[in-house]
């Protein structure tokens, strides 16, 4: 068993634990590389069928390639796809910097979807190596009433023992990819031949390394035009994966404020 086999086995165990302990349960599908891997792992975990809905919280500002990908693979993978729109930016906290305020629309849309569907668990494809605030997460991470994350009051997780406390208004975020690194995701995509949006591959010397809304996400300089190129690039790159995300550069605490309020 190699390192990818171990990561796959751990993630499948987490997905099965979540399905056993948390109902109703949903899986967020952002249409990016990480959530595509997550859908793939869920299909493996449950014999080819994802037994809970795939949730797309839609800002209406994704790239056309991402919407085409969603519509194609929701059918091919036989997903129970649930799409919900986000509120307009005018309804979002005006004290946030512009890009963070725009991104916070997704937080509000997700909160409304959780309350509508009364989810006890929501599976999300974040990784610890993406961003410092995400490195503080647990695999099974409780969110209090109002969807707030108390980063200083999280349950310990020893020997794959995951706590699932439940109080009125609370839900659990489940993170099956927390231990994966960006390069692991791409090596696994290559090994399993998992489809991804072609915006990740270089055109005219630039590519998207992290996909978000069109108006707050930029491509980075890169000549990586194939999976092999991307993996080779990551072995030597010192550029942050989220270098093209505007909200990460607006203020020191902007992303942490989003996360505490319920952002992914």
In this prediction, residue 54 carries a pLDDT of: 98
The reported pLDDT for the residue numbered 71 is 97
How far apart CA 178 and CA 123 sit, in angstroms, is 11
Rounded CA-CA distance 121/170 in Å is 9
- Other Cβ atoms within 10 Å of 95 Cβ, number: 8
What's the pLDDT at 145?
78
Do 215 and 243 meet the contact criterion of CB atoms below 8 Å apart? no
DSSP run (H or E) holding 34: helix 33-45
Q: Phi and psi dihedrals of 73, rounded to 5?
A: -85, -20
R_g over Cα of the chain? 18
- What are the pLDDT tens digits along the chain (264 aa)? 899 999 999 999 999 999 999 999 999 999 999 999 999 999 999 999 999 999 999 999 999 999 999 999 999 999 999 999 998 888 888 888 777 777 788 888 999 999 999 999 999 999 998 877 778 889 999 988 777 888 888 888 888 888 887 777 889 999 999 999 999 999 999 999 999 999 999 999 999 998 988 888 889 999 999 999 999 999 988 777 777 666 666 665 666 666 666 666
Ranges of beta strands (E only) in 17-154 are 25-28, 54-58, 81-85, 121-123, 140-143
SS3 category, 87: coil
pTM: 0.90
């Amino acid at each position: 068993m190699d390192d990818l086999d171990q990561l796959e086995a751990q993630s499948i165990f987490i997905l099965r634990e979540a399905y056993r302990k948390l109902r109703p349960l949903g899986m967020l599908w952002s249409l990016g590389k990480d959530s595509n891997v997550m859908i793939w792992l869920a299909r493996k975990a449950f014999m080819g069928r994802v037994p809970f809905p795939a949730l797309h919280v839609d800002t209406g500002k994704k790239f056309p390639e991402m919407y085409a990908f969603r519509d194609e693979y929701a059918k091919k993978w036989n997903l129970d796809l649930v799409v919900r729109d986000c509120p307009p930016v005018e309804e979002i906290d005006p004290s946030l910097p512009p890009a963070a305020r725009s991104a916070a629309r997704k937080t509000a849309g997700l909160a409304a979807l959780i309350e509508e569907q009364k989810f006890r668990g929501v599976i999300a494809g974040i990784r610890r190596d993406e961003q410092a605030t995400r490195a503080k997460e647990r695999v099974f991470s409780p969110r209090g009433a109002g969807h707030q994350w108390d980063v200083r009051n999280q349950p310990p997780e020893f020997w794959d023992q995951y706590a699932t406390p439940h109080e009125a208004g609370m839900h659990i975020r489940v993170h099956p990819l927390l231990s994966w690194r960006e390069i692991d995701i791409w090596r696994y995509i290559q090994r399993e031949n998992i489809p991804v949006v072609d915006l990740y591959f270089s055109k005219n010397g630039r590519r998207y390394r992290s996909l978000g809304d069109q108006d707050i996400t930029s491509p980075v300089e890169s000549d990586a035009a194939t999976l092999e190129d991307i993996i080779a690039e990551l072995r030597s790159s010192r550029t942050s994966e989220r270098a093209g995300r505007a909200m990460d550069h607006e203020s020191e605490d902007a992303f942490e404020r989003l996360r505490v309020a319920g952002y992914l």
